[in-house]
């Protein structure tokens, strides 16, 4: 198109220059726009990471020296890897089995497909606290119940110790299961039912089909899921922080946090400790970009999926319900009992149940303020990241030329997914407590870190929406003489409203219970819900912790309900 326009001056000699000039001018402006956007994203994503490394290398790498002096550093690293691998394996086993079960649900039980996703939506800190109330070796309710069994009745505590590394791994794994479930379910949707039917007809059992047909065909999604699981596992913070402290079980992320929460405070050491995770995250993102490359190659015809129907299985529904009971209902019940009790101990006394803890929580100005801050920060972050994500997707998908700027943009946007939120939190704390933007202590620093963390999600969901739309609508609009802006506003935005609604809903839900980055950027007077729960947890008032966790879950639950109203019932599976 541009070639045709550039030739025009020769054919219309009366008005040659203005058109060419205006074209060149428009191109320059467009280039400027892309570079300006790149600058904003680079500052948001890159600056905190650069500041961190700068600090770690200050004074001849003093931060690295101190990090290397960390007591039992080898064990710390080993534990970090163990947590990542272990929770990834737990999540892979449960996630894959759940996805297979979901694919074999009877028609009427289709709604059960949402159950494995619920743990993503619930605040991780509430779930972890719930598990502690159930499985603390002494007063844990579930432990107390298990000690009634004949083979455990001699025990004074246990049999389960939620504060031990294996259980931290298992509980973290529960949290990651939802992610694996989503990836594997997506992969499973691509398996042709004909193969499975053929195997069934040939006499293979359900188990045989799963191991001989489904698993091998799922290999790409499994490998991708395992990679993401590993990455998420390496960055896990909540369960090791809340459960690992009592027995001195630290991983890199919690050690980083403790370096910033001691006297004297050691930001440089914390920055250095985060480096392995930073490096690994960057490598994974690069590998993924090289592996996938140009996303437009993956455009397939949309909306013509064949109706697959696998043989329904009764155990499938049973398994999913059982999982929901264990992973969701159990910890929430633990929370509820403690929240209703005057204090937490092994015996449950319904006679003493009281709403006092909820009253205390709701009367505390700190808690109300934290709920407001969470909501405001989440909404503001979504409002910032949504146009950013839209513009980035449009540039990455439709823009030709400028390969350097586009690759950089693509890479920067993906970083927050590969690098643990704790590292971004530390980087934001450093970057925004010094000029030029002194934002520490205000809600703005929380908003910016939230927006940064959501960049990959916003961009990815917009990109998916645009890919599914294809380019024919835009081309039709252009051919009919509409400009780019008009095309975006009148054609693209209305067509993408599903994706946009879904993105808004999902990001809002993820942000209202963000914990890891918030822990580092919060100030004593600017707290969010998760950090307030942690403060109550570490300052010791368990019934209040439980009550606040439940309130937090209700607020998030309301968010999910709104999300489903805006984005449709399947909004959660769009991750």
Partner 1 sequence: MKKNLLTRIALATTTAVAMVGLAACGSDEPSSTLSEGDWDSVVAAAEDEGTVTIYSSQGVAQLEDFAAGFKEKYGITVEIVRDLDSNLLPKLDAEVRTGQPSVDVVVTSTESVMQQYSEDGTFAEPVAPVFDEVDVMRGENYFDVDATVITFAWNTDQYGSTVENYEDLLDPELKGKIGVPEPTVPAFVDFYLYLEDLYGEDFSEKLAAQEPKIYPGALPAAQALSSGEIAAAVYVEPQVDAKEAGAPVDWGFEDKQWSAVFYGGVVAEAPHPNAGQLLVDYMLSVEGQSKIARNAAAIRPDVPGTVATTDTVHRLDLTEITPEVIAEYQAKWNDLFR
In the complex, what is the shortest distance from the CB of residue 83 to partner 1, in angstroms, rounded to a whole number? 16
Q: Which stretch binds partner 1 (CB under 8 A): 49-57, 223-231, 299-307, 444-452?
A: 444-452
Q: Which stretch binds partner 1 (CB under 8 A): 112-120, 224-232, 241-249, 411-419?
A: 241-249
Q: Judge contact between 171 and 128, C-beta under 8 A.
A: yes
Q: Judge contact between 357 and 546, C-beta under 8 A.
A: yes
Q: Choose between 147 and 200: whose C-beta lies nearer to partner 1.
A: 147
Question: Rule CB under 8 A: is residue 472 a binding residue for partner 1?
Answer: no
CA angle at 573 for the pair 123 and 384, rounded to the nearest 5°: 65
For residues 503, 553, 87 and 543, what is the CA-based torsion angle, rounded to 10 degrees?
A: 160
- For residue 415, the number of C-alpha atoms closer than 13 Å in the C-beta half-sphere is 22
Contact with partner 1 (CB under 8 A) among 54, 106, 302, 387: 387
Contact with partner 1 (CB under 8 A) among 247, 354, 407, 480: 247
Question: Rule CB under 8 A: is residue 476 a binding residue for partner 1?
Answer: no
Contact with partner 1 (CB under 8 A) among 434, 480, 569, 570: 434
> What 3-state class would DSSP assign to 561?
helix
Stated length of the chain: 575
Q: Could you say which residues in the range 293-352 bind partner 1, by CB under 8 A?
A: 342-346
Q: Judge contact between 501 and 567, C-beta under 8 A.
A: yes
Question: Rule CB under 8 A: is residue 354 a binding residue for partner 1?
Answer: no
Q: Could you say which residues in the range 106-125 bind partner 1, by CB under 8 A?
A: none
- Interface mask toward partner 1 for 390-419; x: CB under 8 A: xx--xx---x--------------------
Contact with partner 1 (CB under 8 A) among 46, 441, 501, 568: 441
How far apart CA 79 and CA 166 sit, in angstroms, is 10
Contact with partner 1 (CB under 8 A) among 402, 523, 555, 575: 523
Question: Rule CB under 8 A: is residue 471 a binding residue for partner 1?
Answer: no
Question: Who contacts 126 (Cβ-Cβ below 8 Å, separation ≥6)?
Answer: 331, 332, 335, 513, 533, 549, 550, 552, 553
Q: Choose between 199 and 272: whose C-beta lies nearer to partner 1.
A: 272
Q: Which stretch binds partner 1 (CB under 8 A): 32-40, 274-282, 554-562, 566-574?
A: 32-40
Please measure the distance between the N-terminal and C-terminal CA atoms of the chain and give it in whole angstroms: 36
Q: Is 368 exposed, middle or buried (0-12, 13-18, 19+ CB in 10 A)?
A: middle
Q: Which stretch binds partner 1 (CB under 8 A): 292-300, 468-476, 521-529, 555-563?
A: 521-529
> What is the 3-state secondary structure of 345-384?
CCCCCHHHCCCHHHHHHHHCHHHHHHHHHHHHHHHHHHHH
In the complex, what is the shortest distance from the CB of residue 7 to partner 1, in angstroms, rounded to a whole number? 19
Question: Rule CB under 8 A: is residue 260 a binding residue for partner 1?
Answer: yes
Q: Could you say which residues in the range 447-466 bind partner 1, by CB under 8 A?
A: 447-448
Q: Is 204 exposed, middle or buried (0-12, 13-18, 19+ CB in 10 A)?
A: middle
Question: Rule CB under 8 A: is residue 77 a binding residue for partner 1?
Answer: no
> What 3-state class would DSSP assign to 419?
coil
Helix (H) or strand (E) holding 573: none
How far apart CA 427 and CA 414 sit, in angstroms, is 17
In the complex, what is the shortest distance from the CB of residue 76 to partner 1, in angstroms, rounded to a whole number? 10
Question: Rule CB under 8 A: is residue 145 a binding residue for partner 1?
Answer: no
Contact with partner 1 (CB under 8 A) among 114, 204, 313, 433: 433
Question: Rule CB under 8 A: is residue 54 a binding residue for partner 1?
Answer: no
Question: Rule CB under 8 A: is residue 437 a binding residue for partner 1?
Answer: yes
Helix (H) or strand (E) holding 504: helix 497-512
Q: Which stretch binds partner 1 (CB under 8 A): 35-43, 289-297, 497-505, 559-567?
A: 35-43
Helices (H) and strands (E) in the chain, counts: 29, 0
Q: Could you say which residues in the range 181-240 bind partner 1, by CB under 8 A?
A: none
> What 3-state class would DSSP assign to 346?
coil
């Amino acid at each position: 198109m541009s070639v045709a326009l550039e030739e025009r001056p020769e054919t219309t000699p009366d008005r040659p220059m203005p058109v060419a000039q205006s074209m060149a001018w428009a191109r320059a402006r467009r280039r400027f726009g892309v570079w300006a956007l790149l600058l904003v994203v680079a500052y948001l994503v890159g600056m905190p990471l650069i500041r961190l490394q700068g600090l770690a290398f200050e004074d001849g790498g003093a931060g690295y020296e101190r990090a290397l002096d960390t007591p039992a550093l080898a064990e710390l690293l080993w534990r970090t890897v163990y947590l990542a691998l272990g929770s990834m394996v737990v999540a892979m086993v449960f996630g894959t089995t759940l996805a297979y079960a979901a694919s074999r649900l009877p028609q009427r039980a289709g709604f059960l497909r949402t159950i494995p996703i619920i743990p993503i939506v619930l605040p991780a800190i509430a779930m972890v606290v719930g598990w502690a109330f159930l499985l603390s070796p002494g007063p844990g309710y579930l432990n107390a119940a298990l000690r009634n069994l004949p083979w455990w009745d001699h025990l004074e505590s246990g049999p389960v110790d939620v504060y031990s590394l294996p259980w931290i791994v298992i509980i973290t794994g529960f949290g990651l299961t939802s992610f694996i479930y989503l990836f594997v379910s997506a992969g499973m949707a691509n398996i042709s039912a004909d193969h499975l039917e053929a195997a069934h007809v040939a006499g293979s059992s359900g188990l045989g089909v799963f191991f001989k047909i489904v698993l091998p065909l799922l290999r790409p999604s499994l490998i991708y899921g395992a990679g993401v699981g590993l990455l998420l596992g390496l960055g896990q913070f909540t369960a090791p922080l809340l459960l690992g402290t009592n027995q001195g079980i630290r991983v890199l992320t919690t050690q980083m946090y403790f370096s910033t929460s001691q006297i004297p405070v050691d930001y440089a050491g914390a920055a250095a400790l985060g480096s392995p995770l930073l490096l690994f995250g960057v490598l994974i993102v690069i590998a993924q970009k090289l592996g996938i490359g140009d996303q437009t190659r993956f455009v397939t015809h949309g909306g013509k999926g064949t109706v697959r129907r696998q043989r329904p299985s009764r155990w499938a529904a049973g398994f999913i319900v059982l999982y929901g009971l264990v992973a969701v209902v159990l910890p929430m019940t633990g929370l509820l009992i403690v929240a209703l009790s005057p204090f937490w101990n092994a015996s449950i006394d319904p006679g003493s149940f009281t709403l006092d803890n909820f009253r205390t929580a709701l009367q505390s100005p700190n808690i109300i303020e934290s709920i407001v801050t969470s909501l405001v920060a989440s909404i503001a972050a979504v409002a910032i990241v949504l146009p950013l994500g839209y513009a980035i997707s449009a540039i990455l998908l439709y823009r030709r030329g400028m390969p350097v700027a586009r690759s950089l943009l693509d890479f920067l946007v993906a970083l927050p997914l590969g690098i643990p939120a704790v590292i971004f939190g530390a980087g934001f704390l450093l970057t925004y407590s010094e000029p030029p933007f002194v934002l520490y202590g205000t809600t703005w620093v929380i908003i910016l870190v939230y927006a940064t963390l959501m960049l990959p999600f916003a961009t990815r969901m917009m990109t998916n929406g645009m890919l599914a739309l294809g380019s024919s609508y835009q081309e039709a609009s252009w051919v009919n003489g509409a400009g780019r802006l008009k095309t975006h506003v009148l054609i693209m935005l209305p067509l993408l409203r599903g994706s946009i609604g879904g993105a808004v809903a999902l990001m809002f839900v993820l942000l209202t219970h963000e914990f890891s980055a918030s822990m580092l950027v919060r100030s004593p007077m600017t707290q969010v819900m998760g950090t307030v729960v942690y403060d109550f947890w570490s300052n010791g008032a368990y019934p209040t912790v439980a009550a606040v966790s439940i309130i937090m879950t209700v607020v998030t639950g309301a968010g999910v309900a709104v999300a489903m109203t805006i984005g449709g019932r399947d909004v959660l599976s769009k991750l």
